[in-house]
Structure 1
């Protein structure tokens, strides 16, 4: 892998926004800018193996992006933050198909960010399919108008 110059994410929320934006655009370069350069990073896709290291993580996303963008809407459920780390647990809503075959799939995901000399970077993304019948409750959905 070649050295990269990445944007500085001043907050873990900025890094998370860039992560989901890259997924929605299927932009591998932008996605990898969010990840830490640490070879100990970990990514677990729903039903998949634990992937450790930049190359394994990048190759997995490259394979996923071969199918096109991922229209994922993250719904923040909980954030725990300290000075140097931030753990975000979210529900990822993925829209699959279109028209009558359109489905909304839900996954539970944990994103862990560490603060370093280059700002906040993703060190772990772990997603798993939500149980059958799971629906986020309205108070879990940000900016919902009642």
Structure 2
């Protein structure tokens, strides 16, 4: 495994690189985003937790080897930043190229750390969004005068 050489001046740059690598099924670009810390964690939607770069690399390799091309869009990003850590909570919209099926969004948390190579991904956790279609929205209480 070759050492990553990319540097990311901001968490947003690292996040953009992550989603570009995902959309292009580019394993080397994907791994360049990840922190070299062995405590890295990746959880795919409905899948297992992978800890450490070797396990994370293998999980993405297997996904990319399916030959599917993914279209990825993000929305509803909530960001929290400090000098050394950034947390992005967002909705991830993933579809397979050529499949027009509308899939529900995925809830994603990305944690970035700042180190010698700039900002890098430490944790990527994605879960299926719960089905809220059956929930009734409660109206605000009304006051009658």
TM-score normalised by structure 1 residue count? 0.84
- Mapping 1:88-99, distance limit 5 Å: 88-96=88-96, 98=98
Tell me the CA shift for residue 59 of structure 1: 0.2
Tell me the CA shift for residue 133 of structure 1: 4.9
Partner of residue 34, structure 1? 33
Larger helix fraction of residues: 1
Partner of residue 75, structure 1? 75
- Mapping 1:1-146, distance limit 5 Å: 1-2=1-2, 4-67=3-66, 68-96=68-96, 98=98, 101-133=100-132
Q: Distance in 1 between matches of 2:106 and 2:14?
A: 20
**Helix, strand or coil: the match of 1:19?**
helix
Q: Distance in 2 between matches of 1:73 and 1:15?
A: 15
Gap runs ≥5 in structure 2: 134-145
Tell me the CA shift for residue 72 of structure 1: 1.1
Q: Does the Cα contact within 8 Å between 1:35 and 1:121 map onto a contact in 2?
A: yes
Task: Give the 3 Å change call, closer, same or farther, for CA 56–77 of structure 1 in structure 2.
Answer: same
TM-score normalised by structure 2 residue count? 0.84
The size of the alignment, in residue pairs, is: 132
**Helix, strand or coil: the match of 1:104?**
coil
Runs of 4+ that moved beyond 3 A: 96-99
RMSD: 1.6
Q: Does the Cα contact within 8 Å between 1:37 and 1:54 map onto a contact in 2?
A: yes
Q: Distance in 1 between matches of 2:18 and 2:97?
A: 22
Larger Rg: 2
**Helix, strand or coil: the match of 2:63?**
helix
Gap runs ≥5 in structure 1: 135-146
Tell me the CA shift for residue 94 of structure 1: 1.1
- The CA deviation string for residues 41-93 of structure 1, in whole angstroms up to 9 with x for no partner, is 00011111211000000000011111222211111420000000100001000
Tell me the CA shift for residue 8 of structure 1: 1.1
Q: Does the Cα contact within 8 Å between 1:42 and 1:51 map onto a contact in 2?
A: yes
